[in-house]
Amino acid sequence: MISFGRTLRRPLEGPDIIRPAVGARLRVGRMISGPSMAVLMVLFAASSAFAAGSINAAIDKPQITVGEPLTYTVTLIIPQGATAKLPAEKAKFKLFEVRDYKPTQTTLQDGSQQIVLQYTLVCFDVGTRGIKDFKVPVTALGAQPETYLAPPLDIKVASVLPAKGQAEPKGFYGPIKMPAWWADWLVPAAIALAIFALAAGVIWFLRRRKKQVAEETPEVILAPDQAALGALDRLQQEDLVASGQFLVFYQRLDETLRAWLQARFDLPALERTRLGITYLLRVRRDSDPWRTQYLELLKAGDRVKYANLLPSDDEARAHLDQAREVIELARPVEPVTDAAPDDDHKPEAMTP
């Protein structure tokens, strides 16, 4: 870091105000008379009553090339209670362009303020270029406005081109083959295709496995009587009557009886009303011993579904038992096969 600093302050209006710089010594000649000495002492006391301010400027490198960033730092110290009008990023550096600006402010132990202004500059003009006339107006309490002037700095800006006579021809190279625009998408497309293929394989395997299990486990088809009795057993286990759900109970009972009649005798019971089912049963056969009980169960269900006439709990459970009895009565009679004759009762073989 190369830095140059001095304290130069100029008033905005009026005559120059001269104050001793920090660390300076006041030398008075021996031939000064008494009154003159008294006047100088008063002026010195008046000037020392105010805290002295300062401004300093620094650059990070004395030589740069065209377009190379340069850091220009201004350190400003102003007395306690004073205010400074900072140029901020609008500061003018003539041939230098401002690319960045960072201000920081801290309070020192004696109450004075330290302000650091850091600029990032670039220059596109070759030669020795200077940064001059960086001014900061400062106004202190009870004092005239002053201007703090930073010391000038010189920067050497060199060209990036080789010196005259030092340029060498570049080597000869063949044409560079640029990849096609779609080449960058090959890897992502391959990954996506692999994921899709894996997912499709898993789905195919699961479906095939499910089909094999279904083929290995044949579907058990129950006879109409067995299916109906199983449905009545499940209805009894749910015990809808105990919870007062008579409507659901009779809907399930009616649906079970209709499905049984349609599957058992190939009659469209699920599509007909109670009167239509009555007609189908009369046309089919008059001697069915279960027909009267079957129609009474359908009639009891209609009273609950359409007239909201609820039976007692015992009557509802009796209807469930009556449905089982209807199915049992309608079961076909299995033929009785003759028992094989015992060895003791075998006819004796006829002798010739």
Give the model's pLDDT for residue 111: 84
274 inside domain: yes
Alpha-carbon distance of 326 to 319, in angstroms, equals 10
DSSP 268-288: -GGGS-HHHHHHHHHHH-S--
Residues 27 and 101 in one domain: yes
| 16 Rama class: left (phi>0) / alpha (psi -120 to 50) / beta | beta
pLDDT band at 200 (very low <50, low <70, confident <90, very high): very high
What backbone torsions phi and psi does residue 40 show, to the nearest 5 degrees? -65, -40
81 inside domain: yes
Q: Among 79-88, 148-157, 207-216, which range has the highest average pLDDT?
A: 148-157
Residues 121 and 10 in one domain: yes
For the segment 37-65, the average pLDDT, to the nearest whole number, is 65
179 inside domain: no
Mean pLDDT, the chain, rounded, equals 77
How much of the chain exceeds pLDDT 90, in percent? 34
Residues 153 and 239 in one domain: no
Which helix (H) or strand (E) element contains residue 128?
strand 127-131
313 inside domain: yes
Counting the structural domains of the chain, the total is 2
Which helix (H) or strand (E) element contains residue 303?
helix 291-307
pLDDT for 266-311, tens place per residue? 889 888 899 888 888 887 765 678 888 999 999 999 999 999 999 9
Residues 144 and 22 in one domain: yes
Residues 148 and 50 in one domain: yes
Residues 14 and 137 in one domain: yes
68 inside domain: yes
CA–centroid distance for 181 within its chain: 31
Asked which of 158, 174, 191 is the last residue of a domain, the reply is 158
Give the model's pLDDT for residue 183: 81
260 inside domain: yes
pLDDT band at 165 (very low <50, low <70, confident <90, very high): low
Asked which of 140, 158, 176 is the last residue of a domain, the reply is 158
| Domain with 242 in it | 224-329
Residues 16 and 152 in one domain: yes
319 inside domain: yes
8 A C-beta contact, residue 214 and residue 254: no
Which of 32-36, 70-74, 319-323 has the weakest average pLDDT? 32-36
How much of the chain exceeds pLDDT 70, in percent? 72
Alpha-carbon distance of 208 to 215, in angstroms, equals 10
145 inside domain: yes
8 A C-beta contact, residue 54 and residue 138: no
pLDDT for 102-139, tens place per residue? 999 998 888 888 999 999 999 988 889 888 888 888 88
| pTM for this entry | 0.37
Asked which of 158, 181, 208 is the last residue of a domain, the reply is 158
Residues 126 and 234 in one domain: no
Residues 152 and 240 in one domain: no
Residues 95 and 236 in one domain: no
Task: Give which of 298, 264, 263 is closest to 278, Cα–Cα.
Answer: 298
